Amino acid sequence: MRVLHSPDSARHDPALYMRRGTPIPHPEQAARYAILRDAALQGGHVLAEPGDHGLGPIHAVHDPDYVAFLAEAWTRGAEMPGIADEILTGAFARPQMHRKPAGLLGLAGLYMADTSTPIRAGTWPAVYGAAQCAVAAADAALALGQAYALCRPPGHHAYAESAGGFCFLNNSAIAAARMRAATGGPVAILDIDVHHGNGTQGIFYTRADILTVSVHADPANYFPFYAGYADETGAGAGAGFNRNLPLPEGSGDGPWLAAVEAGLAAIAARGARGLVVALGLDAAGDDPIGALSVTRAGFAGAAARIARAGLPTALVQEGGYLCAALPENLAAFLAAFDAART
Ligand SMILES: [Zn+2]
């Protein structure tokens, strides 16, 4: 398996995160990068850096003004007196309030959904490098059959013009748009992160050429709360091209793999010519912020099923947080995918 990774991933290292009223060490830590990279290396996979494909593939799915905000925010830090290591706000634009302010603090609240996405000195190089990994993995998947993008920070909660849920640029969406451009489409995204891929759904909700399928814990009482329900099926030209498969909290391998199979059947029915897997590993029972009970065997089972679909496949890292099972589950997934392809 070709593994695309960027050492710049380690340059975004947020400190704290407010979870359920309590500040805790931010779950999306830079250490995830080295742990996942080392797991891939020890699995015998071939590591490569992605090269620089520029802003074009990012602008294919993101608003250029939002991208410019991410790229420039840290250099504008002097506009926020008292700033320390992070640009972060506690005030957010609601749908009823839609004016675009000039100042940095107001822009942060316009372009962020929550307090999980602080911008630090190394944030832009990290998110840019992750996006380049997604682009390179899409290209490699079309050339070689499969590739894995070790994207960090993750991306599937990022909308066309907003960060949120630890995510800045939507790496899975960037990979899918890249694949769509190269193949003529249709292409599909199968999101198996424990959280609904709300940003990805939002980006492609009115499009028929990129099918989005998400298997996740029921958002009725779990992040991202405001999207991810089964009756969200797409709109306009995209009607019927979004599929949500929420599962009850605590669900294990049986129902999770059945949902993965249902997602793959929907993708096959649409004649997809390429596949992006939004590969969150936080459906694991051991994950510190997870809500499902998937085992290592479950991840291997999903990998085999996805591989047997026979599509050019870009695996794009999403969530999955620090615990002993994190590298084990990545290793199991990549090994099972390769085994099912040979
Ligand atoms: Zn997640």
Cα–Cα distance for residue pair 231/88, rounded to 1 Å: 34
Instruction: List pLDDT tens digits, range 233-255.
Output: 999 999 999 999 999 999 999 99
On the question of pLDDT at 82 being above 90, the answer is no
pLDDT at residue 145, as a whole number: 98
Buried b (16+ CB within 10 A) or exposed e, 52-86: ebeeebbebbbeeebbebbbebbeebeebeeeeeb
pLDDT at residue 51, as a whole number: 98
pLDDT at residue 19, as a whole number: 87
Query: Maximum distance among all alpha carbons in the chain?
Result: 58
pLDDT at residue 275, as a whole number: 98
- 291: CA distance to ligand 1 center in Å? 10
Domain assignment of residue 88, yes or no: no
On the question of pLDDT at 14 being above 90, the answer is yes
Number of domains in the chain: 1
Cα–Cα distance for residue pair 311/179, rounded to 1 Å: 12
CATH label of the domain that carries residue 234: 3.40.800.20
Region 296-316: what's the mean pLDDT?
Answer: 98
Region 43-66: what's the mean pLDDT?
Answer: 98
Domain assignment of residue 283, yes or no: yes
pLDDT at residue 339, as a whole number: 98
On the question of pLDDT at 204 being above 90, the answer is yes
Instruction: Among 67-81, 112-126, 309-323, name the one with the lowest average pLDDT.
Output: 67-81
On the question of pLDDT at 132 being above 90, the answer is yes
Domain assignment of residue 114, yes or no: no
On the question of pLDDT at 79 being above 90, the answer is no
Domain assignment of residue 293, yes or no: yes
Instruction: Among 16-20, 32-36, 46-50, 130-134, name the one with the lowest average pLDDT.
Output: 16-20
pLDDT at residue 338, as a whole number: 98
What percentage of the chain has pLDDT greater than the value 90?
95
- 169: CA distance to ligand 1 center in Å? 15
Q: Whole-number mean pLDDT of the chain?
A: 97
Residue range(s) defining the domain that contains residue 280:
2-63+120-341
- 318: CA distance to ligand 1 center in Å? 7
Q: Is 62 a catalytic residue?
A: no
pLDDT at residue 251, as a whole number: 98
pLDDT at residue 78, as a whole number: 85
70: its two tokens? 């991410």
Q: Output the CA–CA distances (angstroms, integers) from residue 4 to 42, 140, 269, in the order listed.
A: 15, 9, 30
Domain assignment of residue 70, yes or no: no
For the full predicted model, state whether its pTM sits above 0.95. yes
Coil, helix or strand at residue 69: helix
Cα–Cα distance for residue pair 220/161, rounded to 1 Å: 24
- 170: CA distance to ligand 1 center in Å? 13
Domain assignment of residue 302, yes or no: yes
Give the confidence band of 123 by pLDDT, cuts at 50, 70, 90: very high
Set 5, 12, 45, 157: catalytic member: 157
Domain assignment of residue 227, yes or no: yes
Question: Which of the 8 DSSP states describes residue 56?
Answer: H
Q: Output the CA–CA distances (angstroms, integers) from residue 146 to 102, 134, 338, in the order listed.
A: 44, 12, 9
Instruction: Among 84-88, 278-282, 319-323, 325-329, name the one with the lowest average pLDDT.
Output: 84-88
- 128: CA distance to ligand 1 center in Å? 20
- 199: CA distance to ligand 1 center in Å? 12
